[in-house]
Amino acid sequence: MVDDRKLDVLRAIVEDYVATEEPVGSKALVERHHLGVSPATVRNDMAVLEEEGYIHQPHTSAGRVPTDKGYRLFVDKLATLKPMSTAERRAISTLLDGAVDLDDVVQKSVRLLSQLTRQVAIVQYPTLSRSTVRHVELVALTPTRAMVIVILSTGRVEQRLVELDSPLADADLAELRVAVNRATSGVQIAAAAAALGDLPDAVRPEQAEHTRAVVGVLAEAMSDHRNDERVAVSGAANLARYGDFDTAVRPLLEALEEHVVLLKLLGESGVDAVTVRIGHEGPYSELAATSVVTTGYGPQEHHLGSLGVVGPTRMDYPGSMAAVRAVARYVSRILDEGNQ
């Protein structure tokens, strides 16, 4: 049976182990935390905790180390989210308010998150799939070369070059611009890309050739899900703080290069709900020694992407969870503002 005091002991073990990176023994425990009982009692509790699988002893005469299950219990039952200090809050808001565009927001956030948590931070770029087309602009660069620019509701701008076989008159371009905007404005990009398919025949049949070229590139730009797969990473240097190079650092360092892996790690967590995946709970056996703290972000509960931190299972969960939630909220707020 795991009663309150045993939970206290578990919490103390987790905290000490996170702080010292060394197995923690009964004596050190009662010295550093005022548990109000003697080492012998703590030892009895530890024996039970070990039997239940929450802690583990590397070898006979060593202290105890939390298991993944122990961390899990710690996170579920014990972690009171440390609130951010006002200084930290101010740092977040001033930094992110200074961002000039969406990419800037992402890059600043990821940097910030890694600095706040002293861990490796990951921020997924906002997905485009749920955004709507705000405006399409066509610009003639030369008579046979135009640039199409798609402005999305999230504030993101996609641009593509179009090469034409024959010159296109400005008047025709203007007409095409009107037609395209009429067809796509306010429509979700996937639907907008589909809607464009009907245009070539509907507008100026004699210009169908041009229309088809422009519309083709436009549709491609709108169905480009490149962004859905992009992530920004920061703070790899924080891994250097950890020992255990081969089991903890190296696999993670390798994973950081594989953005697909990172996306899977981030998962699809809901907005405002912080998810913690501990060690083996994650999808990769090589990353059994790393934990992930993530949450979704997006204006008004619309999930646009995920962000979070990764690090060794032995990480500061309460601090990481608080920072992840705080940053996600600010990012959501900024996306909300840009959206009006």
Partner DNA sequence: GCTGGCACTCGTTTGCTGGGAGTGCCAAGC
Partner DNA sequence: GCTTGGCACTCCCAGCAAACGAGTGCCAGC
Q: Which residues form the interface with a second copy (CB under 8 A)?
A: 100-101, 104, 134-135, 137, 139, 141, 147, 149, 151, 155, 157, 159-161, 224, 226, 234-237, 239-240, 245, 249-250, 253-254, 256-257, 338
Both tokens of 167, joined, read 């010159």
Backbone phi, psi, residue 52, to 5°: -80, -5
- Beta-carbon neighbour count of residue 182 at 10 Å? 12
Among 8, 10, 14, 64, binds DNA (CB under 7 A): 64
65 DSSP β-pair partners: 56
Q: Where do the H-state alpha helices sit in 21-73?
A: 26-32, 39-51, 68-73
Pick what 202 binds: a second copy, DNA, none; C-beta below 5 to 8 Å, kind-dependent: none
276-281 contacts at long range (C-beta below 8 A, 24 or more positions apart): 276/75, 276/317, 276/321, 278/68, 278/71, 278/72, 278/75, 278/313, 279/68, 279/71, 279/313, 280/68, 281/68, 281/72
Residue 134 interacts, among a second copy, DNA, none and using kind-specific CB cut-offs from 5 to 8 Å, with: a second copy
Q: State yes or no: residue 25 binds DNA (CB under 7 A).
A: yes
* CB 116 within 8 Å of CB 330: no
Residue 258: CB minimum distance to a second copy, A = 9
Q: Can you tell me which of 8, 15, 63, 263 binds DNA, judged by CB under 7 A? A: 63
Q: Cβ closer to a second copy: 56 or 160?
A: 160
Q: Rounded CA gap, 123 and 308, in Å?
A: 6
Count the site residues for DNA by CB under 7 A.
26
Closer CB to a second copy, 75 or 334, in the complex: 334
CB of 3 to DNA, least distance (A): 9
Distance, in Å, from the CA atom of 316 to the CA atom of 311, rounded to the nearest integer, reads: 9
Select the span of 62-70, 88-96, 141-149, 243-251 touching DNA (CB under 7 A). 62-70
Picked from a second copy, DNA, none, the partner binding residue 245 (CB below 5 to 8 A depending on kind) is: a second copy
Of the candidate residues 2, 21, 27, 135, the single one contacting DNA (CB under 7 A): 27
Residue 273 site contact among DNA, a second copy, none (CB < 5 to 8 Å, cut-off depends on kind)? none
The C-alpha angle with vertex 223 and arms to 217 and 228, in degrees rounded to 5, equals 130
Task: Please give the residue ranges that form the binding site for DNA (CB under 7 A).
Answer: 5, 23-28, 36-41, 43-44, 46-47, 50, 57-64
